[in-house]
Each structure stands twice: as C-alpha cells, then as structure tokens.
C-alpha cells in the first residue's frame, strides 16, 4: 500500500537547487535509508513529506488516514510531565480508537453499516499496534534507558535523555510512516542495536537519515541518495547500494568511452568521404549519409558520467614514543554515591588501538578525563603516569583555545602561510568562500572537520578521540578511518559507531556497572566473548543488530584466553599491533549452525501462530493462548477479557521477535565464520 510519496518535486533556495524532479514512494514495509552529504538536502526532503515546507514544483502525496511523524532533535514536553506520562500521551490516538471500537461493540455489530465502521476502525487500531501498546511501552522505555525511571520528571532529564525520550514517544505511538533524522544521537551501542532490530520489523514504513553505517545496513533494505539535486533510489542497504552504484558508474564510463571512440571513427570516415567526393554527386550523398549516421549515433549515446563529488585524504603524522605509553594504578572514582571505577590498574603500549565502550553514563568520559589528568582537583584515588616522549592529542569538538570571532583562514594563518592555509582548509572540504566564515558560525559538521584539521597539525603520538564521527558524513568518516588506519601512534577511541570500531580497534575496554573489563582482542572478538558469557542480552556487531550483553569481569583486567588455551595477545605487524583472535573449529560451527536453524524454525512457527491470533481479536479465547503456552489461564474466576488476552499475546509477540532477532544474528555470524574457515582450509574437527 502506498502511504506517502514525492512526485517530480523541485526545491531550491535562491540559486542553490536542492531537489530536481525528485520522486520517492514510501509503501507499507519499506525500510529506506536516506543518504547524502551534509547539506545535500536530506532534511529538506523530510520536511516536504511532513508538509512543513512546500515544493516549488511537483506534488507531495499522503494516503487518506495515513499518520506521518518525524523525530525532533529538541523535543518539547509539557511542564511537570513524567516519563510514563509521556507514554500515555503517545497513546492518545490509539486510546481514542479503542473507545470507538468499544462504543460500536456496545451498540452491537449485527447492523451491517455499523459492522463495516467497526472493521475500518479495527484495521487502523491493529495496524498501529493498539493491542500491544502497553507491552510496546515497557519494551521501548526499557531499551532506551528508562526501565526504572517511569516516574521521573522530564524537567530533570539531560538534553540527551530528553532526545531519547522523544524517540521513545514516537516509537510507542507507532505512526504509519516514521521519518527519523539521526535517531542514533545519544544512543549507546546496545540501544542502537535494539533500535536497528525494532525498525527492521516495524509494521509501517520508515525513512531514516543516519551517519551510522552499520545501523542503516542492519535496519534498511532500500536506499535513496541525494546528490547535487538528484534523488536516486535503489534496492539494498546503503553498502549494497553504493557498491551497485559504483559498478553501474564503471560500466557507464566504459560504455561511454567505447561510444566516443566509435563516434570519432564515424566523424573521421565522414570527413574522409568529403575529401574524396570532389565533383562526384554520389560520393557527396554518401558523405552526407555518413554525417547523418554519426549524428544519430551521438543522439543515442548514454549520458556522460557525472564527476564524483569531491573527496579528501589526510594523515596524522607523529614521532615515536616510549613503548609504555601510559600506566594507571588503583584508579577509583565515584559520582553522586555511585561507584564508576574501582581500583583500576591498566597499561597502554605503543601502537595499540583501544576502543572504550559501555552504556551511556557508565563512566567512559570520566575514565578518559582521569587518564588525561582533568579530574585531578576532584580527589580521585590512584596514579596515572605518561611515558617518555608521549604527546597527547585530544579530539575536542568544542574547539577550546580557538578564537570564535576569527575566521577559519585567520586561525590557520597563526600556524602557516596563505597558500598552505587555503590548501589545508580545502583538504578538509572547506571551499574558498567558506574559509572566511567565523568559527562561531560553523555548523556541527564544519566544527568537527575543523577539530580534525587542528589535530592533524599537532603531530601527537597518542590520540584520544571522544565520539569523533559525530556530525561527520559517511565520506569524511571513511577518510578518517583511512587516516587512523595508517597512523603509527597509539589510539584510545570512544565511539558508538560499530563499523568504525570494528575497522580500527585491536583491544577493547568495557566500563559497565562499576566494573572494568579488558578484552585483549579486536571488536569481533569482544562481541563473541560477551555473547558467550551473556547469551541472553544484545550483542552489537559491526554489520547490524546483534543480540547483546552484560559485561564480564570485575575491577581487574580480565585474562581472556582462547579455546586452545593460549592467551589472546598481540602480534607486531606492518600496521601496528594486531589482535590474535581464537576461533572455534569447523565441526563446532557446523553443529551450532544446525542447532540454530532448528531454533529459528521453531521461533518462526510460534511467531506465525501468535501473529495469526492477533489478526482475529474478536474470536480470541484463553484456550488459544494456552495451546501456545502463553500465560496460565487455569485459575478460577471469571474468564479473562479480550483486552487481557491481547495484552498477553502482544507481550509474547515482542518476546518472540527479540528471540528471533538474537538467533538470526548468531546464525549470520556463525555462517560468516564457517565460510571463512572453509576458505582458509580450517580444521573440520
């Protein structure tokens, strides 16, 4: 069913064309990633669908009765509202639909016209998840960090928590079309993995803007790209879409080159005939015919391949440091009576690339600041020592020490000459006219690029990067990955971008519930070890939603060992320290894969049964649920109401969906590992 669409829409701001004849259709079940560079027009497209802006030409379509809702980055709430009160307001429309259903049922459904009205209202109520809304509320609030905070006042929440609550409100309301502009802002890794899985099974349509590549790849099966006014739509997640686009552009360029060679041959042949013709009428006619043939051929040629948008490359240069870069002994830190770190001892060696992960509020930034000496006046316990010749560079998007009233060009002139300043700014995608903007007038993405430029000039051999991918578009994130991959110094990274961490980290520190665990391996090793230790939680891999986890370890560094009993340490390679991650044997993987396939089939069958029952609410009985093992309905007393049965069934549906997501994620990981083992001739037993 077509829910909303743009048809041949034009939109411009002054001389800048943002959309040119853009067409996009959103249908039931669509999961569409909206990608493009910062400023390309993604937010404009969302506002057009919301009717917050009007197109200059073309049309915006919305199916009758369709509810479209958009995520606000700065959501507004009523004074005095509580977290649970927000959820009740999110259900206002569904509550009204339920009252209409009850009124129609009370009046009796024997009248055909009344029964038809009941069917229409019931279909809307069911489509928008009315029966499962209480279970959905509990699941959403829990997943987004409000499990035991239902009665907290919204006014007491931080800015990031308010943004998460705005997202929760939107997901609970379950509109027909979700428009999500950077929904992963202020979400930690596990929240992102949960949201990814939730959106992959969303009953309506979703159009999603995000710079988190793993999140989009896991949640979306369709991609729309805005580039220089053109909107291109294709099947597949963004990674598949970009690969297909690159291959199509390669074929197009090759075909165009072949056609240009043929056109040149035809033109040369026509010119040769003209020279030969002399006074021969017959040869003149042949020359004219050859010219017309060349003209017809040129008309039929494919369009010239558009030049690619400008990309960038940069490096982080540094001098060598001591082999022991940093040590910390007996670090402890509490905040508001809650212990964040307890008697922590650690060592950082030259060349390591450490990912620091954990839920929001667990103490990641606190640990960074302790290591950087910024909490010295707060009386933390412990000692931090920095090695010889270690020069620390901290990624600071706040741009401390930069004159906000100065222009970008003026700031760089403090360190280099005119030509070098222009070239450096150009390398970080600041066109000539933008180089004369004041620092205080920069957007979030521009500030992030300036902070990275500042860091490349500093020549630091220990880089501490706190959320460096925030506000960067995908092209700049990939340029940053390449620069850090070639970097010969030491890295400590805090990020919720799973793909970014999977490409760079050779060691993972996790802070959770006052505990610190050191995983001596890369990101995939970390995901696997946590999944083994806590198979019932959500583990987030770099490729999409992954089931997930509670941390292992206490206050000390964990001694993680592989299946062969050898410590999972490091080997020195050309690119720095590399993780040595143990893997299970092929026969173990084959056995687990067979078991998973059986478990998936079982859950899918149960999910189909539950879905079938939810589709027939008026005939639902307690025995239907008992047959599936849902609830215990054998107690004496009056039979349960339809609402009670549907609430139990809705909760079971949510549980089964989560279980299926976890099994499918493990199946994908196991299949990948088995393929890799087969390709390398791994042992079968």
Q: What is the pLDDT of residue 654?
A: 67
Ranges in the chain, pLDDT < 50: 377, 545-581, 618, 684-685
Distances (CA, A) of 381 to 346, 370, 392, 516, 555: 14, 10, 22, 16, 14
Compute the distance between CA of residue 309 and CA of residue 155 in angstroms, rounded to an integer: 44
- The domain segmentation of the chain, as residue ranges, is 324-391+459-579, 586-679
Distances (CA, A) of 24 to 57, 232, 235: 14, 9, 13
Q: What is the pLDDT of residue 271?
A: 80
675 CB neighbour count, 10 Å cutoff = 11
Q: What is the pLDDT of residue 570?
A: 32
Q: What is the pLDDT of residue 565?
A: 32
Domain with residues 324-391+459-579, CATH architecture = 3-Layer(aba) Sandwich (3.40)
Q: What is the pLDDT of residue 439?
A: 87
Compute the distance between CA of residue 599 and CA of residue 577 in angstroms, rounded to an integer: 39
Nearest one of 440, 439, 413 to 424, comparing CA atoms: 413
Q: What is the pLDDT of residue 579?
A: 38
78 CB neighbour count, 10 Å cutoff = 9
The alpha carbon dihedral of 433, 435, 440, 442 has a sign of: positive
Give one DSSP letter per residue of 245-283, joined into a string: HHHHHHHHHHHHHHHHHHHHHHHHHHHHHHHHHTT-HHH
Find the distance separating the first CA and the last CA of the chain, reported in whole Å: 51
Q: What is the pLDDT of residue 571?
A: 32
Compute the distance between CA of residue 579 and CA of residue 552 in angstroms, rounded to an integer: 19
Q: What are the residues whose beta carbons fall under 8 Å from the beta carbon of 509, sequence distance 6 or more?
A: 346, 354, 355, 356, 357, 367, 516, 517, 518, 519
Compute φ and ψ for 660, nearest 5 degrees: -65, -40
This model's pTM is above 0.75: no
Q: What is the pLDDT of residue 46?
A: 94
Q: What is the pLDDT of residue 176?
A: 92
Q: What is the pLDDT of residue 253?
A: 75
Q: What is the pLDDT of residue 278?
A: 66
Q: What is the pLDDT of residue 300?
A: 58
Q: Which strand (E) or helix (H) includes residue 366?
A: helix 364-371
Compute φ and ψ for 455, nearest 5 degrees: -70, -35
Task: Report angle CA 524, 504, 452 to the nearest 5 degrees.
Answer: 145
């Amino acid at each position: 069913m077509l829910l909303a669409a743009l048809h041949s829409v034009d939109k411009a701001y002054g001389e800048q064309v943002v959309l040119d004849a853009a067409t996009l259709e959103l249908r039931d079940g669509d999961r569409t990633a909206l990608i493009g560079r910062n400023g390309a027009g993604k937010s404009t497209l969302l506002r057009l669908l919301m009717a917050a802006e009007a197109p200059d030409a073309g049309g915006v379509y919305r199916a009758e009765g369709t509810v479209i809702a958009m995520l606000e980055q700065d959501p507004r709430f009523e004074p005095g509202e509580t977290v649970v009160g927000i959820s009740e307001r999110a259900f206002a429309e569904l509550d009204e639909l339920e009252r209409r259903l009850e009124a129609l049922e009370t009046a009796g459904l024997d009248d055909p016209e009344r029964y038809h009205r009941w069917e229409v209202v019931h279909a809307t109520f069911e489509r928008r998840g009315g029966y499962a809304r209480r279970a959905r509320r509990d699941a959403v609030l829990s997943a987004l960090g409000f499990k035991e905070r239902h009665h907290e006042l919204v006014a007491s929440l931080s800015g990031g928590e308010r943004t998460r609550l705005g997202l929760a409100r939107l997901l609970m309301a379950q509109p027909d079309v979700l428009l999500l502009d950077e929904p992963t802002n202020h979400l930690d890794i596990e929240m992102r993995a949960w949201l990814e899985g939730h959106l992959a099974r969303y009953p309506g349509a979703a159009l999603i803007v995000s710079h988190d590549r793993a999140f989009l790849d896991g949640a979306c099966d369709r991609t729309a790209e805005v580039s220089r006014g053109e909107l291109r739509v294709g099947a597949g997640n963004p990674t598949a879409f970009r690969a297909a686009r690159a291959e199509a552009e390669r074929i197009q360029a090759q075909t165009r080159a072949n056609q240009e060679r043929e056109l040149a041959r035809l033109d040369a042949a026509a010119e040769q005939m003209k020279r030969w013709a002399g006074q021969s009428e017959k040869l003149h006619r042949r020359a004219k015919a050859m010219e017309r043939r060349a003209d017809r051929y040129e008309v039929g040629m494919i369009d010239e391949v558009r030049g690619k948008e400008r990309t960038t490359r940069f490096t982080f240069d540094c001098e060598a440091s001591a082999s022991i870069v940093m040590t910390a002994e007996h670090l402890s830190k509490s905040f508001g009576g809650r212990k964040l770190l307890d008697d922590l001892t650690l060592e950082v060696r030259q060349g390591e690339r450490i990912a620091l992960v954990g839920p929001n509020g667990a103490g990641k930034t606190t640990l960074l600041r302790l290591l950087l000496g910024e909490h010295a006046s707060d009386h933390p316990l412990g000692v931090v020592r920095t090695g010889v010749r270690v020069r620390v560079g901290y990624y600071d998007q706040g741009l401390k020490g930069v004159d906000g009233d100065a222009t970008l060009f003026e700031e760089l002139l403090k360190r280099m000459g005119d030509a070098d300043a222009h070239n450096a700014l150009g390398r970080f995608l600041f066109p000539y006219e933008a180089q004369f903007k004041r620092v205080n007038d920069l957007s979030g993405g521009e500030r992030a690029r300036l902070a990275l430029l500042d860091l490349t000039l500093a020549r630091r051999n220990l880089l501490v990067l706190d959320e460096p991918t925030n506000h960067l578009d995908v092209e700049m994130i990939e340029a940053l990955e390449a620069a850090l991959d070639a970097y010969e110094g030491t890295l400590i990274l805090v990020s919720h971008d799973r793909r970014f961490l999977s490409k760079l980290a050779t060691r993972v520190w996790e802070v959770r519930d006052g505990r610190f665990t050191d995983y001596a391996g890369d990101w995939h090793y970390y995901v696997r070890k946590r999944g083994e230790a806590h198979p019932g939680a959500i583990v987030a891999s770099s490729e999409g939603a992954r089931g997930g986890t509670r941390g292992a370890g206490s206050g000390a560094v964990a001694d993680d060992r592989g299946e062969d009993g050898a410590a999972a340490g490091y080997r020195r390679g050309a690119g720095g320290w590399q993780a040595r991650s143990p893997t299970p044997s092929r026969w173990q993987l084959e056995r687990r894969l067979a078991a998973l396939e059986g478990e998936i089939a079982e859950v899918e069958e149960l999910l189909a049964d539950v879905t079938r029952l939810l589709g027939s609410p008026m005939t639902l009985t307690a025995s239907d649920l008992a047959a599936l093992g849902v609830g215990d309905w054998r107690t004496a007393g009056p039979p349960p109401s339809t609402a009670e049965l549907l609430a139990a069934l809705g909760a079971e549906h949510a549980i089964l969906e989560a279980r299926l997501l976890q099994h499918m994620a493990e199946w994908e990981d196991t299949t990948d590992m088995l393929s890799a083992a087969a390709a390398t001739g791994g042992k079968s037993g």
